[in-house]
Structure 1
Amino acid sequence: MAELLTDKTAVVTGAASGNGRQISLAFACHGADVVVADIQPEPREGGTPTHEKIASETDTTADATYVECDVTNTDDLEEAVEAAEEFGGVEVMVNNAGIFRDEDFLDVTEDEYDQLMDINAKGVFFGAQAAAKRMVERDRGGSIINISSVAGLEGSGEYPTYCTSKGAVRLLTYSLASALGPNNIRVNGIHPGIIETTMTSEDVPIVGAELGEQFLETVPLRRNGQPEDVADAAVLLASDLASYVTAISFVVDGGMTNTQ
């Protein structure tokens, strides 16, 4: 397999579990050194911590380190980006950390709203800012990838706060692509559909056993996505193969959004 990210350094938030974990592993397999940034090192699904798995199991010379990072804390985000200096400085930033809430709009509390927006939107904003500052200082360009959701493309009465947060990520991505383009910093968004992760299976009711088969009938490819599907999209957007690609919403949903 050709290594598309050789000599690059990436910071990935929410990298202990799920999509962030797989993105980190895929980056390492393609030659990138990775800063695994998460609130805890243990994967939600169990197993070896991501940074240890990269060091012991990926068949490349890539290296990895873990940094404790609460994305609602701007100092933590700065420290995660600072950790990339060990490998030569951040060139790829993946703002992946996020949570899901299933709520009735009339029952949403201010605290619930603030928690979700702080993690899903504020964390992306200031994660991108921390990385962009270093990228501008080094004057070598870079790639910022924001993980949104198909919920950021369409509204849903079942989880309005989540949709609000992911819609904010989509518009932030477009805005940053315009602001940072003159510095040769590309900013793109990935919008996953239903991806089989522990968070999805435990927190998103639509993929429960009672709705699973019915839901899959709405997906042209007739399967749920895998974290590898999201990771492959991230590898492409991080690589020089996408050197003229910025301000896009890369939808990874098996065709669901545009065929319903």
Structure 2
Amino acid sequence: MSPMLTDSVAVVTGGSSGLGRSIARQFAEEGADVVIADVQEAPREGGEPAHEVIEAETDAGVAYVDCDVTNVADLESAVDAAEEFGGVDVMVNNAGIFHGEEFLEVSEDDYDRMMDINVKGLYFGAQVAARRMVDGDGGSIVNLSSVAGLEGSGDFVTYCGTKGAVRLLTYAMAAKLGPDGVRVNAIHPGLIETTMTTEDYAIIGTEAEGSFLESIPARRAGQPEDVADAAVYLASDRSEYVTGESLVVDGGMTNTQ
């Protein structure tokens, strides 16, 4: 089969580590040029920077841009960097943070930080990219939500709030931008093996992992590549009649518990 993203140019926020790193690499393997926008080049999981790996392993054009998604000027710079390759066709709003919490003890600073990164950063990342897409030939915006945006959890009240906001923003953006040829979809990952689930939300690699996996019909944790495959589909022309949708990548966990 021919590559799915030939002649596409993608910007991936939070592209140095975790899901973003896998998405960026998969996009490059499928023929896209990629701009990795992140606050650090070094991946949290260790290894070489994603842009160096992509450059060494593929023929794709690739650039790294320092980008704090809470700063709209940084987002503008990331999308500007895509002009080197012909302009942004795909925007992946992946950057996000997670921390466990006791709702009655959440501070205003904790709340603001999570909202700024998970919601504000995504909102303006989509806006900045959409302006270029509307003036051009359209495009695809892929927003990373979570199964926490579909179900409430008393252990992660703020995080659920941010990811629920991503889901509804995706629907509203799709309604607004569809007539201009811009598709907007969300991916809702479940338990995926990244530093978020091994360190920030320590399930994988702990005693809790076994019982947690028993609740997943697939009986395994997802891998970043599982989410990257979904992102490739939503970014490609093979999903040209798909917009305003939530694609759940969770091994069947959400709808079977």
Same fold (TM over 0.5): yes
RMSD over equivalenced CA pairs, Å? 0.8
- For residue 50 of structure 1, what is the aligned residue in structure 2? 50
Deviation sequence 1:110-159 (CA, Å, 0-9, x none): 00000000000000000000000011111x01000000000000000001
**Unaligned regions of 5+ residues in structure 1, if any?**
none
Using the alignment, how far apart are the partners of 1:128 and 1:214 within structure 2?
Answer: 37
- For residue 186 of structure 2, what is the aligned residue in structure 1? 189
Whether the 8 Å CA contact 2:138–2:180 is kept in 1: the answer is yes
Which residue among 89, 103, 106 is the counterpart of 2:104? 106
Whether the 8 Å CA contact 2:11–2:79 is kept in 1: the answer is yes
Percent of aligned positions with the same letter in both sequences? 67
Q: What does residue range 26-45 of structure 1 map to in structure 2 within 5 Å?
A: 26-45=26-45
Using the alignment, how far apart are the partners of 2:231 and 2:65 within structure 1?
Answer: 21
Deviation sequence 1:176-217 (CA, Å, 0-9, x none): 000000001000000000100122210013445121000000
Cα displacement (A) at 1:2: 2.4
Which residue among 119, 122, 125 is the counterpart of 1:124? 122
SS in 2 for 1:182: helix
List 4+ stretches of structure 1 deviating above 3 A: 205-208
Which residue among 209, 212, 217 is the counterpart of 1:212? 209
Whether the 8 Å CA contact 1:207–1:215 is kept in 2: the answer is no
Using the alignment, how far apart are the partners of 2:237 and 2:30 within structure 1?
Answer: 12
Which residue among 148, 152, 158 is the counterpart of 2:149? 152
Using the alignment, how far apart are the partners of 1:233 and 1:249 within structure 2?
Answer: 11
- For residue 16 of structure 1, what is the aligned residue in structure 2? 16
- For residue 77 of structure 1, what is the aligned residue in structure 2? 75
SS in 2 for 1:254: coil
Q: How many residues align?
A: 257
Using the alignment, how far apart are the partners of 2:212 and 2:121 within structure 1?
Answer: 30
Cα displacement (A) at 1:33: 0.1
SS in 1 for 2:110: helix
SS in 1 for 2:114: helix
Using the alignment, how far apart are the partners of 2:128 and 2:220 within structure 1?
Answer: 37
